[in-house]
Amino acid sequence: MLKGALFDLDGIIADTASYHFDAWKKLIKNHFDTDLPNQLEEKTKGVSREDSLSIILDYLGIQVSEENFKQLAAEKNEQYVQALDALTSQDILPGISDFIQELRKAKIRIALASASKNGPIILEKLGLLDVFDAIVDPYSVAKGKPAPDIFLAAAKSIHCGAEECIAIEDSVAGVTAINSANIFSVAVGGTELSHANKLFSSTKELTLLKVEKAWQNCKR
Residues with a catalytic annotation lie at: 8, 10
CA distance linking residue 27 with residue 33, whole number of Å: 9
Upstream peptide bond of 146 is cis (omega within 30 degrees of 0): yes
Residue 95 corresponds to which amino acid? G
Q: SS3 of 110, please? A: strand
Main-chain dihedrals φ then ψ at residue 42, nearest 5 degrees: -60, -35
Question: CB 43: neighbour CB atoms within 10 A?
Answer: 17
- How many contiguous H segments (helices) and E segments (strands) does the chain have? 9, 6
Within 61-145, residue ranges assigned H as helices are 66-83, 96-105, 119-126
CA distance linking residue 216 with residue 106, whole number of Å: 16
Which helix (H) or strand (E) covers residue 189, if one does?
A: none
Question: CB 184: neighbour CB atoms within 10 A?
Answer: 25
